[in-house]
Chains A and B, each alone.
Chain A
Amino acid sequence: MNVHEYQAKGLLREYGVEVPPGKLALTPEDAAAAAGEIGGTVVVKAQVHAGGRGKGGGIKLVRSPDEAGEVARSMLGMQLVTPQTGPKGKTVRRLYIEADTAIERELYLALLIDRATQKVALLASTEGGMEIEEVAAQTPEKILQVQVDPLLGLCDYQVRELGFALELEPKQVGSLVKLLRGLYRLFLEKDCSLAEINPLVVAGDTVTPLDCKLSFDDNALYRHPEIRDLRDPDEEDPRERQASQYDLSWVSLDGNIGCMVNGAGLAMATMDIIKLEGGEPANFLDVGGTADAERVSHAFRLILADSNVKGILVNIFGGIVLCNLVAEGIIHATQSAGVKVPIVVRLDGTNAPRGREMLQSSGLGITPAVGMQDAARQIVTAVQA
């Protein structure tokens, strides 16, 4: 789960990390008032879950409350297109009004889970403001890395070493140590999967986060209701949100073949084989191990909510659940969800022949298939017809 910059900065403050003064604004009037309260030159920043906002016109410097109000009026409701939003862009609904910050140097700083070493990694670079992927591709030697032992935690000396390697002055190193004590504690206590400060600006004796991106481990949200509350439904795909209410794992795609599969790996492989056979999947959907009638009918309704869908491929590998019971569930769900498009069902496992026979004779236009390839071919042919 991702949060907005202003929410991330709120969390930084809670953990004793100093950030520039700033306020959330939902209307032009809010924005003008916030600018007046902060005083001087302020920055109006569009709050969307995507980087590169400056390039799309989502970050503007203003010199007065009136100007803040005007800029806010033009920004609120706009479709902000950045290198990370895709061509459709994202609607701006929230603004963050922040004091302008003096900048001498810009650095990059991030904490993340390093899967290869099974540790938390602290990454830093002198190339603040650039995408880290770009730096990694062009000048990998500019990325410094510190591995943190999960049992020891991040030690001050590690941060000092890093600070001096980044050519910070001694007092600035002190400021970095203080910042990272807070950031590391936040990272662990709130179960972050990524905490990225880009840029981290250096000016005078201090280092200050100018932008901050926090991502949280979805599996840990159960123990952080306060983080779950930061969720912005406008930033999420509505069907992904709906699916998660039914405990189904869903990702929306652009094709016209709806997929329903048990198991995440098999669901990905099903998308792949549809593509191999010349079709385009409309979604990723894992209905889980217990593909009972209720879950299957929720899943059918979700798939059918997409008007692009011209056919549905159901791929169930019955292991422990008997295939005749799965077939019964599919027949029931097809009726209750009122499915009108062609359905191809691949059923394998215990009692598979009986399950297929039941599907065939249901009179619901369900085509049983033997194996994944047969199933993919049949559904691709059906939607092209």
Chain B
Amino acid sequence: MSILVDRDTKLLVQGMGRVGQLHTGLSLEFGTSVVAGVTPGKGGGEFKGVPIFDTVRDAVAETGANASAVFVPPPGAADAILEAADAGIELVVAITEGIPVVDMLRVCAALRGSSTRLVGPNCPGILSPAEKVRIGIAPYPIFRPGSVGVVSRSGTLTYEAVHQLSVLGIGQSTCIGIGGDPIPGTTFIDTLREFERDPATRAVILIGEIGGSAEEEAGEFVASEMSKPVVAFIAGRTAPPGKRMGHAGAIISGGKGTAEEKIAALEKAGVPVADSPATIGETLRQAAPDAR
């Protein structure tokens, strides 16, 4: 089992450019059922046996795709997300980095109350080792099937945590990158709620960073709603205020969104926070000795 994806996930890839093709190939290699690609004007073609369509609506009608990975460059990305939602795709994962915030405000408002879940943007996507589903760009060789859920605002830091777990012999149920942008489609809380319900997940690693208050809100949720152990790491203790640290959402503004505040809030909620990025896996093992 896993969250958001499973063996019935039929993936379509929006934006079959160089990067979209590379990751389509890697997802196929991993065993994911990639059923369609969409690039307007390239309909009728194919890539490694995957048919390409002009529109998401055509792709869904022909292939029954129920999930989408968006690789469309920033100027067209918000439109691509809305196209997928309008065609009835249940899960849209936006990998694209650099979508204007105002576009995401509109997209998130439009999706509220719809049956489409958006993950991202500016994220590595979703990977479930046991279900063989890889949506996005995560390096699948470092993952192994197991019982730890990982949710993170950062891509490579997710890989770091997964690598540490795998080296300790602990596998992962599902890893979700919610992305480094200020307006994400899916929040920590949305994901934690799913992990709490998922029988395959025994414990969760939450990886946050400076900016916003999503980690504080997640802490409150863990304290009041979760029975499974959750551990965390927060990046950016040494980040100067007022500077954007790579991710659009990673900024301490007006003295708010510091790592210290987040760590204090999580610890108060009973979530152990790893001091060092090198001990994320170890922190999980101590909090959840039965995790495999």
**Interface members, chain A 307-353 (any B CB < 8 Å):** 317-320, 348-350
CA distance A144 to B123 in the complex (A): 34
A269 within 8 A of B: yes
Q: Report if A222-B75 is in contact (Cβ < 8 Å); known contacts: A265-B156, A269-B157, A319-B139.
A: yes
Q: Mark A264-305, 1 if CB is under 8 A from B, else 0.
A: 111111111111100001001010010000000000000000
Q: Report if A264-B154 is in contact (Cβ < 8 Å); known contacts: A273-B276, A371-B278.
A: yes
A165 within 8 A of B: no
B212 touches A349 (CB 8 A): no
Q: Contacts of B212 on A, CB cut-off 8 Å?
A: 115-116
B205 within 8 A of A: no
Contact of A263 among B26, B105, B154, B182 (CB under 8 A): B154
B209 touches A113 (CB 8 A): no
B61 within 8 A of A: no
B142 touches A133 (CB 8 A): no
CA distance A363 to B181 in the complex (A): 42
Shortest Cβ distance from B98 into A: residue = A219
CA distance A192 to B162 in the complex (A): 37
**Interface members, chain B 142-161 (any A CB < 8 Å):** 142, 152-160
Q: Report if A133-B246 is in contact (Cβ < 8 Å); known contacts: A150-B109, A219-B99, A220-B100.
A: no
Q: Contacts of B142 on A, CB cut-off 8 Å?
A: 319, 349
B163 within 8 A of A: yes
CA distance A223 to B100 in the complex (A): 10
CA distance A249 to B277 in the complex (A): 21
Q: Contacts of B249 on A, CB cut-off 8 Å?
A: 115
Q: Contacts of B279 on A, CB cut-off 8 Å?
A: 373
Q: Contacts of A118 on B, CB cut-off 8 Å?
A: 105, 108-109, 183
CA distance A218 to B278 in the complex (A): 32
**Interface members, chain A 118-142 (any B CB < 8 Å):** 118-120, 132-133, 136
B139 touches A265 (CB 8 A): no
CA distance A219 to B276 in the complex (A): 31
CA distance A267 to B277 in the complex (A): 11
Q: Mark B227-263, 1 if CB is under 8 A from A, else 0.
A: 0000001011111100111111110001100010000
B41 within 8 A of A: no
Nearest-neighbour CB distance to chain A for B236, whole angstroms, equals: 4
Candidate in A220, A281, A371 with the most chain B CB atoms within 10 angstroms: A220
Q: Report if A132-B154 is in contact (Cβ < 8 Å); known contacts: A265-B235, A273-B276.
A: no
Q: Contacts of B102 on A, CB cut-off 8 Å?
A: 150, 188, 191, 217, 220
Nearest-neighbour CB distance to chain B for A279, whole angstroms, equals: 10
Q: Contacts of A120 on B, CB cut-off 8 Å?
A: 105
Nearest-neighbour CB distance to chain B for A314, whole angstroms, equals: 13
B213 touches A116 (CB 8 A): yes
CA distance A119 to B101 in the complex (A): 10
B213 touches A115 (CB 8 A): yes
Q: Report if A264-B163 is in contact (Cβ < 8 Å); known contacts: A193-B101, A217-B102.
A: no
Nearest-neighbour CB distance to chain A for B103, whole angstroms, equals: 8
Contact of B139 among A113, A133, A274, A349 (CB under 8 A): A349
A103 within 8 A of B: no
B277 touches A115 (CB 8 A): no
Q: Contacts of A155 on B, CB cut-off 8 Å?
A: none
CA distance A61 to B106 in the complex (A): 44
Q: Contacts of A272 on B, CB cut-off 8 Å?
A: 235-238, 259, 276-277
Nearest-neighbour CB distance to chain B for A52, whole angstroms, equals: 14
Q: Mark A242-272, 1 if CB is under 8 A from B, else 0.
A: 0000000101010000000111111111111
A251 touches B210 (CB 8 A): no
Q: Contacts of A273 on B, CB cut-off 8 Å?
A: 276-278
Shortest Cβ distance from A188 into B: residue = B102
A151 within 8 A of B: yes
Contact of B106 among A151, A262, A265 (CB under 8 A): A151
B94 within 8 A of A: no
**Interface members, chain B 17-36 (any A CB < 8 Å):** 22, 26
A149 within 8 A of B: yes
A266 touches B160 (CB 8 A): yes
A183 within 8 A of B: no
Contact of B74 among A193, A219, A281, A349 (CB under 8 A): A219
Q: Mark A207-237, 1 if CB is under 8 A from B, else 0.
A: 0000000000111101100000000000000
Q: Report if A276-B209 is in contact (Cβ < 8 Å); known contacts: A264-B154, A267-B246, A319-B142.
A: no
B138 within 8 A of A: yes
B217 within 8 A of A: yes
Shortest Cβ distance from A281 into B: residue = B238
A159 within 8 A of B: no
The 5 closest A-B pairs by CB, nearest first: A265-B154, A264-B246, A319-B139, A263-B156, A265-B157
* 12 A-B residue pairings within 8 Å (CB atoms): A118-B183, A133-B254, A133-B255, A150-B102, A217-B100, A219-B98, A263-B155, A264-B209, A265-B154, A284-B245, A320-B26, A349-B163
